[in-house]
Amino acid sequence: MNKAHDLMRGLAEADPRLHDGIVRELSRQRQGIELIPSENFVSKAVLQAMGSVLTNKYSEGYPRRRYYGGNEVIDELEQLAIDRAKQLFGADHANVQPHAGSQANMEAYFALLELGDPILGMDLAAGGHLTHGSPVNFSGRFYHFSSYGVDPKTHLLDMDAVRKRALADKPKLLLSGFSAYPRKLDFKAFGDIAAEAGAYHMSDIAHIAGLVATKAHQSPVPYADVVTTTTHKTLRGPRGAIILCREEHRKAIDKAVFPGMQGGPLEHVIAAKAAAFGEALKPDFAQYQRRILANAQALATSLLENGISLVTGGTDNHLMVIDLTPLGIGGKEAEKALDSAGIYTNKNMIPFDTRSPFDPSGIRIGTPAITTRGFSTVDCAEVGAMIARVLKRPQDASVIAKVKGQVGALCASRPLYEGLGILG
């Protein structure tokens, strides 16, 4: 019996309730269609690194500059993660310790700004993120945010409008990046505007990091002072984040992460980041990213052909936002109906949304996770038709039951984590 199997059996015996929950979650993931664009299925190597004894170690500080003894192996592994992140993104410096995307963004603000400084970021309803200035988030409370939105007609970003806004608002930092914008960003244009406005340019590429790493999307690294990203979305690593920056910001970024914001780094997660970066440096990861994009096109085309409206009329990245307004239902009802059919999505604001964030007018979907489990463009066309069927009859139990049956059959033909125990 191998070590992983021993560990699993150990958990079943030590804590049957917990074991049972993890087994049920694995089965939910296997039997449903995961369309939340910020989720993915990590490799066995990533799972194993995360479930390792590295969690036992305190290592406050950085490689060769720690506040605890016994870090010779940890130093080597964290340095491996740093080196791979730098190579993957072509960055001068990488800090691999941020626990999550929100912390990475806070640390980047701490490094570059004083509290209360002005920042210009993307409006939440237009596709921005909570940490890009929402009043209920630390960002909106600690800093003076203003926002740029999208064009009222096309719902596309208008870089002339962003420029005008930046020159008028004079932010100290111009933020590019999103969590729900279905089109490509022109990071060079953002960099030029920041330079003209005398602002730092920070880019949050959490959603598109995998696309950027494989050149399927323009990289902000040459055009931004600091780049943050989570590691678990298109990048397909463990839940966590990293910060990339120009050499001139290295000291400030490292100080902002530790001791500025965090204590002991999660070295088991950092090792899993190293595993994911190693995978992302291999040629088949670029193929995977191209398949994400092809699948997104197939899904968008199928939705449109089945009479579903998409914000901006489509997508050119891994995600799309369904506009539910013509169907006369809200995001809450739509998400719940799709959930009941085994299709996982999340409700989302659409540009100029008149409904509340708790029941907005949109549903956000994407293809990173289903592409990992092998869905083809033909499968994605079928998924689009299934979504349309549910959204047109969200209260019809027989439609939902029928679609759930189709979901089960499709998932059975695209097995996930075959032969894997719950702990890898």
Catalytic residues: 58, 60, 204, 230, 233, 239
Task: Confirm or reject binding of residue 302 to ligand DSN (CB under 6 A).
Answer: no
Burial class (CB in 10 A: 0-12, 13-18, 19+), 355: middle
Chain length of the chain: 424
Phi, psi of 297 (to 5 degrees): -60, -45
Q: Which is nearer to ligand DSN, 77 or 212 (CB)?
A: 212
Task: Confirm or reject binding of residue 347 to ligand DSN (CB under 6 A).
Answer: no
Q: Shortest approach of ligand DSN to residue 110 CB, angstroms?
A: 18
Residues 180-239 that bind ligand DSN (CB under 6 A): 206
Q: Which is nearer to ligand DSN, 62 or 181 (CB)?
A: 181
Task: Confirm or reject binding of residue 272 to ligand DSN (CB under 6 A).
Answer: no
Q: Shortest approach of ligand DSN to residue 220 CB, angstroms?
A: 17
Q: Which is nearer to ligand DSN, 80 or 206 (CB)?
A: 206
DSSP 244-257: EE-GGGHHHHHHII
Task: Give the Å distances, CA to CA, from 217 to 188, 206, 317, 348.
Answer: 12, 13, 8, 23
Task: Confirm or reject binding of residue 320 to ligand DSN (CB under 6 A).
Answer: no
Q: Shortest approach of ligand DSN to residue 366 CB, angstroms?
A: 9
Q: Which is nearer to ligand DSN, 38 or 361 (CB)?
A: 38
Task: Confirm or reject binding of residue 38 to ligand DSN (CB under 6 A).
Answer: yes
Task: Confirm or reject binding of residue 129 to ligand DSN (CB under 6 A).
Answer: yes
Neighbours of 185 (CB within 10 A): 22
Task: Determine the 3-state secondary structure of 213 from DSSP.
Answer: helix
Peptide bond into 415 cis (omega under 30): no
Task: Determine the 3-state secondary structure of 155 from DSSP.
Answer: coil
Q: Shortest approach of ligand DSN to residue 134 CB, angstroms?
A: 12
Task: Give the Å distances, CA to CA, from 144 to 106, 137, 190, 269, 406.
Answer: 14, 12, 19, 33, 49
Task: Determine the 3-state secondary structure of 49 from DSSP.
Answer: helix
Task: Confirm or reject binding of residue 40 to ligand DSN (CB under 6 A).
Answer: no
Q: Give the closest residue to 81 by CA, choosing from 95, 69, 91.
A: 95
Task: Confirm or reject binding of residue 240 to ligand DSN (CB under 6 A).
Answer: no
Q: Shortest approach of ligand DSN to residue 178 CB, angstroms?
A: 9
Among 98, 101, 133, 238, binds ligand DSN (CB under 6 A): 101
Q: Which is nearer to ligand DSN, 105 or 377 (CB)?
A: 105
Q: Shortest approach of ligand DSN to residue 391 CB, angstroms?
A: 20
Task: Confirm or reject binding of residue 348 to ligand DSN (CB under 6 A).
Answer: no
Number of residues that bind ligand DSN (CB under 6 A): 5
Q: Give the closest residue to 271 by CA, choosing from 6, 45, 8.
A: 45
Query: What is the DSSP code (8-state) at residue 330?
Result: -
Q: What is the contact mask toward ligand DSN in residues 131 to 170, using x (rule: CB under 6 A)?
A: ----------------------------------------
The residue with tokens 């079928």 is 382
Q: Which is nearer to ligand DSN, 130 or 216 (CB)?
A: 130
Q: How far apart are CA 165 and CA 212, in angstroms?
A: 26
Beta-carbon contacts of 42 under 8 Å, excluding residues fewer than 6 positions away, are 232, 236, 237, 238, 272, 276
Amino acid, single-letter form, for residue 154: T
Give the chain's end-to-end CA distance (angstroms, integer): 13
Q: Which is nearer to ligand DSN, 345 or 406 (CB)?
A: 345
Task: Confirm or reject binding of residue 315 to ligand DSN (CB under 6 A).
Answer: no
**Position of minimal CB gap to ligand DSN:** 38
Interface with ligand DSN (CB under 6 A): 38, 101, 129, 179, 206
